[in-house]
Structure formats: structure tokens, C-alpha cells
Chain A
Amino acid sequence: MIFQLLSGFMSAKASREAGRARQDAANMDAFNTETEREQGEVFAMQQAAARRAEFDSATEANIAMFSVGRDIGSDRSVEAFLNKQKEIAATDLGRLDNQRRAEASARTREAMALRRGGRVARRASLLKATGTIFNTFSDASKTAANGGTR
């Protein structure tokens, strides 16, 4: 009977430890997903800064070119052209921002699901361990009732 109890407790402990290990692994996965999200955000910000710098440089070059021999302050066609260029660059920046937000949101939800999975695995392992202990006691009491023969 002592072996019966010992093996039962060992099994319960192993279940508990397995649940803890699964939760640790899930937490690590969630942490990595969040790090990935932050990296993605930094990457998107870098892309936006590069796009803005490119637009600024192009605008400066265009203004320098248009200002040769004409008053660009009163030239409506130059103004319309520059506004159109600004609109195109702004659309790109807006899209970059939307993409960044969508990806960050997806990664956040992913990390949440991973953490939840870890918590559930832990809870399931505790339930399993409780069941194992209960069954062990039940079997042991039966064995004891039969005089330790069965």
C-alpha cells in the first residue's frame, strides 16, 4: 500500500510541475511576442522617419528648383504641386501608422492568449493532481479494506 500512495503522490507532483513548466513556457512566449511587438513599433517609426526625411529633402530640392526665376509664393501651380506631394507623403505616413497599430494590436492579443493558455495549463495540472490524490486515497482505502491483498 505504501508504494501505491508513494506513486500516487509522485504522479500528482509531476502533474503539478508539468503545469508550472507549461505556464513558464507560455509566459516566455508571451514575453517574446511583446518584444516582437515593440521591435515592430520601432521599425515602423524608423520607416516613418525615413519617409518624412525623404519628403523633406525632395520638397527642399523642388522649392530650390522652382525658386529660380519665379516667385513661388504667388505661383498657384507650384503650390498645388507641393500640396499634392505632401498629400502622397501623408498617405504613406498614415498607412505606416495604421499598419503599426494593427500589428501591435495583433501581437498584444497573441501575448494575452499565450498567457491565458499558460494559466489554464497550470489550473488543469492542479486539477489533475487533485484527482490523482483522490484516486490514490480511494484505491489505498480499498486495498486496506481488503487486508492489503488487493
Chain B
Amino acid sequence: MAVIRQKTQVFNKPVGVRRINTGEAEMWEQISQQADQLTARAFEAAANNARTVGEETA
């Protein structure tokens, strides 16, 4: 019967980290776009109001 010698059997390997897009950037971009839209609408409403007031005054 021969001597049983231990051999290294385990070697660490990369764990494979997955990159996940949480979509946070897209959400803030959406907020920015909506805020821009709101600004444009508010400006349009104010401009219309000013035009009406101007016409009435004239």
C-alpha cells in the first residue's frame, strides 16, 4: 500500500460581477425633461396672457 499524498485541488477564480443599470440616470433625465416642458408651458401661458392684456389695454 502506497502513501496517499494530498494535492492542491482548489484554485480561486473570478466571481463574475454583473454590471446592472439601475436606471437612476434615466430617471433624473426624465425629471429634467419634464421640468423643461413645464417651463416652456409656463412661458407660453405667460406670453399669451401678456398678449391678451396688451391687446385689451390697446
Instruction: Select from chain A the residue with minimum beta-carbon distance to B22.
Output: A117
Task: Show the binding face of B for A, using Cβ within 8 Å.
Answer: 1, 3-13, 15-18, 20-24, 26-27, 30-31, 34, 37-38, 41
Among A61, A96, A109, A120, which residue has the most Cβ atoms of chain B within 10 A? A120
What's the nearest-Cβ distance from chain B to residue A147, in Å?
Answer: 15
Contact A89–B23 (Cβ < 8 Å): no
On chain A, which size bracket covers the interface?
Answer: 35 or more
With A92-B8, A92-B10, A124-B30 already in contact, the answer to whether A113 and B22 are too (CB < 8 A) is yes
Besides A62-B4, A105-B15, A127-B31, 8 other CB < 8 A contacts?
A51-B9, A92-B8, A92-B9, A96-B10, A106-B16, A121-B23, A127-B30, A128-B34
